[in-house]
Structure 1
Amino acid sequence: MAVVGVGQTLKGDDAAGVLVAQVLVKRQRAGSSDAPRPAPFSLLVVEAAHAPENCTGAIRRFAPDLVVLVDAAEMGDPPGTIRWLDWRDTAGLDVSTHTLSPSMVARYLVAELRCEVALIGIQPQDTSLGAPVSPPVRRAVRTVADGLSAILLAPRPDP
């Protein structure tokens, strides 16, 4: 499995996906030295910044069965709202703050890797240049990172 954090860290809440990836990387590294058993999944975490298309080589080499894209998504919801989005339903919608839409990245990954792709969207409050990450989005980042960590980084039970 691969988790790809997408976003521009200089644009406030647009950093949400990258922040989730950073938390996962930190937890993955912290757990690798003292975890008595391996995690249940082979996991690649990618901080893709604003151009996930530039990270497809690493994802292709890893060859995951599932890629989860995490991104700030303009969904018309209150700031910090988290939604699982079907990438096929995001084509043509203003769901991402980036020039290459999640649906285009997902379509490429599905065609190239024959993998499943999921999209976690976090509703931003402010994506203007130089803005700080808002409290609702910080909470959402923590919620998403905690949920993914619980599933992906938890040690396997003894057989």
Structure 2
Amino acid sequence: MSFEEQLKDFLKDYQKLIILAVGNELKSDDGVGPYIIKKLKSDMTENETLLFIDAQTVPENFTGKIKKENPSHIIIVDACLMDSNPGNIQIVDKNNFADIGISTHSMSLSYFVKYLEKDNDYKIIFVGIEPETMDWGDNPTSNVEKTANEFIEILKRLLL
């Protein structure tokens, strides 16, 4: 199944979707999540069924907002060390978080997801994009930016 088909399958029957980006914009490809949210906010309109959150490096600071919004579906986007080619994108099931090197952020995303699910029945997936570099820099590398833009176009097709 292609990435787009997997995403379409995940989004089937969603009532409210939160797209939550994690990443440090000052560390090149680690900022791919915030890059995606900025583009989505300029290309699409948030409404009662769609919300974008740029959590930067502290997704745990948004647990209250997420629980208050009570989404049916959550997509978490971050640079992710998956031992593949830079710019590779894949959906990582929340049960497989431990198998990959997810991010440099203060709270493990697996704990973040477990905390969110403690009292709620959210459908949650993680979209990981393989970074080329996490060195200091203002923008994602060209491979990662290209993938981010393709992901944005897929979301627009599926959500508009």
Task: Tell me which interval the TM-score lies in, with the shorter structure as reference length.
Answer: 0.7 to 0.9
TM-score when normalising by structure 2: 0.83
Greater length-normalized contact order (CA 8 Å, ≥ 6 residues apart):
1
| Aligned counterpart, 1:10 | 26
Structure number, greater radius of gyration = 1
Which residue of structure 2 lines up, in the alignment, with residue 70 of structure 1?
A: 77
Structure 1: tracts of 5 or more residues without a match: 33-38, 155-159
Q: Is the 8 A contact 2:55 2:62 kept in 1?
A: yes
Q: Deviations over 1:6-41 (max 9, x none)?
A: 100000000011111111111124xx7xxxxxx8x8
The size of the alignment, in residue pairs, is: 144
Partner of 1:87: 94
CA–CA distance in structure 1, aligned partners of residues 51 and 139 of structure 2: 28
Q: Percent identity of the aligned residues?
A: 28
Residue matched to 1:36 = none
Matching residue within 53, 57, 68 for 1:61: 68
> What is the TM-score of this pair, normalised by structure 1?
0.83
Distance 1:43 1:79 in 2: 29
Partner residue in 2 for 1:99 = 106
Q: Which runs of 5+ in 2 are unaligned?
A: 1-16
Moved more, 118-127 or 18-27: 18-27
> How much is the aligned-residue C-alpha RMSD, in angstroms?
1.8
Give 1:24's aligned residue: 40
CA deviation digits over 1:23-82, x for unaligned, max 9?
1111124xx7xxxxxx8x801110110111111121111100111000000001100000
Offset, 1:112: 3.3
